Amino acid sequence: MMSEHLDLADLLAWYVQSGADEAIGTAAPNRYVARKEVAATPAFPTQEAAVRAPIAAKSELPPRPAAKPVPTAPLAPAAPLPPPDAATRDAKSVAAACADLVGLRAALEAFEGCALRYTATNLVFGDGQAGAPLMFIGEAPGADEDREGVPFVGAAGQLLNKMLGAAGLDRSGVYITNILPWRPPGNRTPTPNEVTVCLPFLRRHIELVKPKILVLVGGTSAGTLLGTSDGINRLRGRWHSYRSAEGAKPIPARAVFHTAYLLRTPARKREAWQDMLEIRRRLGDEASGQR
Ligand code: URA
């Protein structure tokens, strides 16, 4: 019995590692009902059907609560995807025309230039209010975020919440989004083309939120928005400047370890904690107009 459990756990872990971590259907089939129908219409009642009868009676239990809303992503592109250059140009002009976060979200929902939207379950736009003083930007949604349509709700998000709380910052007072608004299949690293095509939307996202400080969570986010190939170990621990466009007011930016990395490497939490305290200190300065 024990080894059967272990085998099943191994099999499940193997599915997850292979990227098969999603249920395919959107509604759970009620197998009790299916069994009851089979049991109710036997050509010749058998001893097996008689044994099954008490199981079938369980279908009289109250129905399960309704499944979550059906995913918003279309299943396949209506036409072949545009080449990345054309998609990026399109993204720039569409994003520039968005006057607020509601419009930007609608524009992303309608944008067909990134193949990830066809494999993702939900658009993961952002969490928070325009005008939040701190804006956290991660890499891309994972399985939990894809399912819920909200960034940083899985294990990495729980750790982010804890770190915010410990530094006296509440999640409800910050804005959170990602470099990519759709989950790459199996949580693979985003490709350069995916990042380039989606970047105009993120740049507009930052302009519309207007944070006082940007927190770039992980190497992909930091490298993309600071325009460098330096790794996170070089980028963290000091202040940078992010400029949305030539001549725009620079926004102080801090690169921090990704919380998913901290879950795997707890020895680095101390440095992450120092980063968080420095961000809070600078936020105090910005709020009191000392900068
Ligand atoms: N990791 C990210 O970078 N973003 C999320 O939203 C969740 C995990």
- Encode pLDDT of 43-80 as tens digits: 333 444 434 434 333 344 445 445 455 555 566 777 78
Ligand 1 contact, 177 CB (< 6 A): no
Structural domain contains residue 68: no
| 145 lies in some domain | yes
Query: Would 51 be classed as within a structural domain?
Result: yes
Of 287 and 209, the structure prediction assigns the larger pLDDT to 209
Q: Is residue 240 part of a domain?
A: yes
Asked if residue 190 has its Cβ within 6 Å of ligand 1, the reply is no
Full-model pTM: 0.76
Provide the 10 A C-beta neighbour count for residue 128: 20
Residues 46, 146 within the same domain? no
Q: Is there a domain that residue 1 lies in?
A: no
Q: Do residue 47 and residue 149 come from a single domain?
A: no
Lowest mean pLDDT across 79-88, 149-158, 173-182, 210-219: 79-88
Q: pLDDT for 162-195, tens place per residue?
A: 999 999 999 999 999 999 999 999 999 999 999 9
Residues 272 and 216 in one domain: yes
Whether 252 and 136 map to the same domain: the answer is yes
Band of residue 222 on the pLDDT scale cut at 50, 70, 90: very high
Q: Are residues 50 and 97 in the same domain?
A: no
Taking the centre of ligand 1 as the mean of its atom positions, its distance from the CA of residue 166, in whole angstroms, is: 20
Residue 40 shares a structural domain with residue 147: no
Q: Is 138 near ligand 1, meaning CB less than 6 Å away?
A: yes
Residue 180 lies in a domain: yes
Query: How many independent structural domains does the chain possess?
Result: 2
Query: For the domain that residue 182 is a member of, what is the CATH number?
Result: 3.40.470.10
pLDDT of residue 201: 98
Which residue owns the Cα nearest ligand 1 atom 7?
Answer: 152
Same domain (yes/no): 104, 43: no
Of 121, 144, 145, 205, the residue with max ligand 1 atoms within 8 A of its CB, to mutate for a pocket test, comes to 145
Q: Tell me if 156 CB under 6 Å of ligand 1.
A: yes
* 266 plus 173 within the same structural domain: yes
How much is the pLDDT for 18? 56
In this structure, the answer to whether residues 116 and 47 fall within a common structural domain is no
Q: Are residues 127 and 271 in the same domain?
A: yes
Domain extent at residue 96: 86-288
- Residue 225 maps to a domain: yes
